[in-house]
Amino acid sequence: MSSQCPTQNCARHQVSLPYSTTALAPPSFPSQPGSSILIDCRSEDSLTEENHARCWTGKKLTNRRQREAILIDMLPDDVLLEIFDFYVDECLRRFFLSLHPPKNDVEGWQTLVHVCRRWRRVVFGSPRRLNLRLVCTQRTPARDTLDVWPSLPLLIQDSYLSTEDGADNIIAGLERSDRVVKIHIHHIYGSEFENVLPAMQVPFPELTVLQFGSSNKGMVSVLPDSFLGGSAPRLQDLWLDRIPFPGLSKLLLSTTHLVTLQLWHIPHSGYISPDTIATALSTLTSLDDLELEFESPRSRPDWATRRPPPQTRSVLPVLRHFGFKGVCEYLEDFVAYIDAPRLDDLGVTFFNQIVFDTPQFIQFITRTPIWETFEKANVVFEYGVATVNLSSRTPGHGNLTVTILCIEFDWQVSSMEQVCTLCLPPLSTLEDIYIYESRRSQPDRQDNIENMLWLELLHPFTSAKNLYLSKGFASRIGPALQELVGGRATVVLPTLQNIFLEGLQPSGTVQEGIQKFVAARQVTSHPIAVSHWDGSRGKYRYY
C-alpha cells in the first residue's frame, strides 16, 4: 500500500498511464466492444491535469497521419470506467495465476487514483466493479497507512512470517476484522504464531478465505474454540497446515457456504474423530474439495470407543474431490458416515501397516459413479512409495489413487497385493494394466519376492485385456507367469489378449518364461500375443 494520501491534489504528480506490455496486448486496446475509441498506451507523456494523455478516434484508421488527436478528459466517465476495469482485471488476473502474488497486482488501481481528481472519483465511485482492495503484509507499515485510504476490504497476506515487527504489521490488519476478506499466511513461526493468535479470537464477518500454515512441526499452540469468534458465516475456502484445531467441527457448523476444506499435516494434538468430522461436514452442502491428511499414524480411532456403522449417512451432494492420508481404520470409520454421489477424483495415502482391509471403503467407492468408469490401472513402484491408480482412457472421467508409504520393496509388493485384493471393488470394466517403476525408484534393487506374490497381485484384474510391463518388471513377472500352465493357464488374467514388454528381446530368460505362458494359453480359447512396448510413451501418465 502506498503511504501517499489519495486525497491530495494529483495534478502536480507526473504519473505515466498505467499499463504493462506483458499484460496488455496489443498496446492499444478498445475501451469497450464495438467502440471506435483507442487509447494509445505507448505514449511516454505523463498524465496529469495539465499534461493530458492522448487518445485517437478510429474515423480514419486506414491513414494513420489523418487520425484526429483528442484529449482523454473528453471521454465520458462510463468509458473511463470500462478502461479502468480492463486494467484492474489484468492486474488481478496476474495475481490469481501467481503462487506468491505481489501486492502491487492487487493494488494496481492505486496508480489510477494518483493521476487526477476525476480519475480518483471514477475509481472510488465503483469499488465493487473494480474490486478495490488493500493488501497488508509483514512489510506494510499498516498502523501508519491503513487509515489513509477509504475503508476498503483487506487481504492479509504473507508467505513467511518470522519477525516480531512483521507480526505487528499483520496484527494491525487483523484488528480491522470487520474488513478482512482473505487471510493468506502459509508459513508462520512459533513465536509469531503466539503473537498473532490473540488478534484472531474475534469474529471476521466478511472473511471468505483463510489459509493458515505453520513452519514448525509440533511447535504451535492448539487453536481454541474461540478462534474467529467461533463463527465464519461467509467462509468459502479453509486451508490449515500443521495447525492443531480439535474444535474445528464447531466452527464448521457455521460455515454453510464452504466450498474447499483442506487440512494438511494434522498434528496428533489436533486429532478429530471420524464421526465428529463427518457430522460437521453434513451441513456443508456446497463442499466441492475435501482434504484430510494426518501427520503421523498415531492419529487413529480408539478401539474402545469405535462405533458401529450408522444406519443413515450424510450426503455431500457436490463433493468432487476427496483426498485422505492416514491409517485405514480412520478412513473406514469416516466413509461409513458419508455419501458423495458426484465424486470423480479420489486420492488415498495409507501409512504402512501389516493389514489393509477396508470393506467400508469398498462400499463407499461403489456408491459413487467413478468405479464404473475405470478402464486403466497404473501400478507404480518408487523409492518409499507404491501406488495403484485407476482411471478412464478419457481424461477427466474418474480417477482413484491409493498410495502406500513404505521403504522396503518386498513390503511394497505385498501391500499393493492387499490393496488390489482387499481395498478395491471388482473392476469389471478395466482392460489395461501398466506395471512399472517411476523415475524416482532405486536402480537395480535386489529382491527375493516369490512368484506366487506376483500372481496374487495380478489376480484381481480379471477383465484385463492388455498387460504392459516395464523392463525391470518383465524380468520379475515373466518367471511367475510360466507357472500358469495346464489347468492353471486361465486362473490369473483369464481374458488377457496382449502382453507388451519394454525392451523386448528375441531371446532370453524373460521371453522363455512368458512364451511358456503364451503356449499354455494357445490351447485354450484365450490366446495371447506378445509385442514391444515403448515404455517412455506409456509411463507417468497419471502424475
Instruction: Provide the residue-wise pLDDT of the chain in tens; the chain has 543 residues.
Output: 444 444 333 333 333 333 333 332 222 333 333 333 333 333 333 344 443 444 433 444 444 444 444 567 788 898 989 989 888 888 777 655 554 455 656 777 888 888 888 889 999 998 899 888 888 888 777 787 777 888 899 999 876 666 666 788 889 899 999 999 999 988 887 777 888 899 999 999 999 999 998 876 656 788 999 999 999 999 999 999 999 999 999 999 999 999 999 999 999 999 999 999 999 999 999 999 999 999 999 999 988 777 788 889 999 999 999 999 999 999 999 999 999 999 999 999 999 999 898 999 999 999 988 887 899 999 999 989 999 999 987 777 789 999 999 999 999 999 999 999 999 998 888 999 999 987 666 555 666 889 999 999 999 999 999 999 998 898 889 889 988 888 888 899 999 999 999 877 666 667 777 888 898 898 888 899 998 888 765 554 443
Taken in order 97, 103, 105, 106, the sign of the CA dihedral is positive
Tell me, letter by letter, the H, E, C secondary structure of 154-174: EEEEEEEECCHHHHHHHHHHH
Contact criterion met (CB below 8 Å) for 403 and 349: yes
pLDDT in tens, 40-61: 333 333 344 443 444 433 444 4
CA dist 507 and 515 (Å) reads 10
The confidence score (pLDDT) of residue 460 equals 93
Kind plus residue range of the DSSP H or E element containing 227: none
226: cell is: 474461540
pLDDT at 26: 27
What's the pLDDT score for residue 538? 52
Q: What distance in Å separates the CA atoms of residue 25 and residue 35, rounded to the nearest whole number?
A: 17
State the pLDDT at residue 217: 64
pLDDT value of residue 102: 57
pLDDT of 440 reads 65
Q: Where are the beta strands (DSSP E) in 408-465?
A: 432-437
Helix (H) or strand (E) holding 312: none
Instruction: Please say whether the beta carbons of 243 and 219 come within 8 A.
Output: no
Alpha helices in 274-378 (DSSP H): 274-281, 328-335, 359-366
- Identify the H or E element spanning 536: helix 535-538
How far, in Å, CA of 431 to CA of 427, rounded?
A: 9
CB of 220 within 8 A of CB of 198? no
**Sign of the alpha-carbon dihedral angle for 93, 96, 98, 102:** positive
Q: Smallest Cα–Cα separation from 174: which of 148, 136, 226?
A: 136
> What pLDDT is recorded for position 54?
42
Cβ atoms of 313 and 336 within 8 Å: the answer is yes
Cβ pair 455, 484 in contact under 8 A: yes
List Cβ neighbours of 536 (8 Å cut-off, separation of 6 or more): none
Q: Which of 127, 181, 129 is nearest to 150 (CA)?
A: 127
| pLDDT computed for residue 445 by the predictor | 61
